A and B are shown apart, each in its own frame.
Chain A
Amino acid sequence: NAGVTQTPKFQVLKTGQSMTLQCAQDMNHNSMYWYRQDPGMGLRLIYYSASEGTTDKGEVPNGYNVSRLNKREFSLRLESAAPSQTSVYFCASSALTSGRIDTGELFFGEGSRLTVL
């Protein structure tokens, strides 16, 4: 009953360090997403992958890269972390068919809290 699993749950980095957030889903979903959530800002889309082999930029992609490793896994990489990237990161997946969310439901992971000093 895993759903969407993110690792790590917490991470502290120094400015300039790199790291990768891992995400895996076991629901055979086509589409996967990375969001960040900041106080007073709601959820903002960083990158998404509508299907295996494709990735696209969202609203706030600068400073991030992604890899859709296979249908299950979608990773988010910070090449040179900055304090502005301190946030809670959520991975999500959905049963996207014919270009739309099948039921409207995004399944979210439990979040990764990242602090950049």
Chain B
Amino acid sequence: EDKVVQSPLSLVVHEGDTVTLNCSYEVTNFRSLLWYKQEKKAPTFLFMLTSSGIEKKSGRLSSILDKKELFSILNITATQTGDSAVYLCAVEARGSQGNLIFGKGTKLSVKP
């Protein structure tokens, strides 16, 4: 059975800290891994990763994929209160018609 496991499930940090969120997966015929950020309402897309070892970066956020060890990390440097959200990891399998398997998410709280 395909699955995605995120850790930790919740995390509290102070502004300025650096955080690392983890996502491990087991999926038949892996195609891509995606990260989403969910604040109050709809998840919003952050990154899509398909190749091992290639870092994707957007501002203070970065992510990398390890297809051998079947995991990805999402790093956030110099955290701000606006980074408080649930971060969702999802995996797409080949032939899945675009269906994504989501992890349960990591709830990040950034304190001033």
Establish whether residues B41 and A48, one from each chain, have CB atoms under 8 Å apart when the complex forms.
no
A31 to chain B, nearest CB (A): 5
Establish whether residues A111 and B98, one from each chain, have CB atoms under 8 Å apart when the complex forms.
no
A42 to B90, CA, bound (A): 10
DSSP majority for the B interface?
strand
Establish whether residues A104 and B34, one from each chain, have CB atoms under 8 Å apart when the complex forms.
yes
For this complex, into which size category does the number of interface residues on chain A fall?
20 to 34
Considering only residues 40-84 of chain A, those with a C-beta below 8 Å from chain B are 40-45, 48, 50, 56, 58
Establish whether residues B41 and A101, one from each chain, have CB atoms under 8 Å apart when the complex forms.
no
For this complex, into which size category does the number of interface residues on chain B fall?
20 to 34
Establish whether residues B48 and A104, one from each chain, have CB atoms under 8 Å apart when the complex forms.
yes
Number of A-B contacts (CB under 8 A): 67
A57 to chain B, nearest CB (A): 10
Question: Quick one: given A42-B104, A99-B97, are A110 and B41 in contact (CB under 8 Å)?
Answer: yes
Interface membership of chain B positions 15-49, coded 1 if the CB is closer than 8 angstroms to chain A and 0 otherwise: 00000000000000001101010000111110010
Interfacial residues, chain A to chain B (CB-CB below 8 A): 4, 31, 33, 35, 40-45, 48, 50, 56, 58, 90, 94, 96, 99-101, 103-111
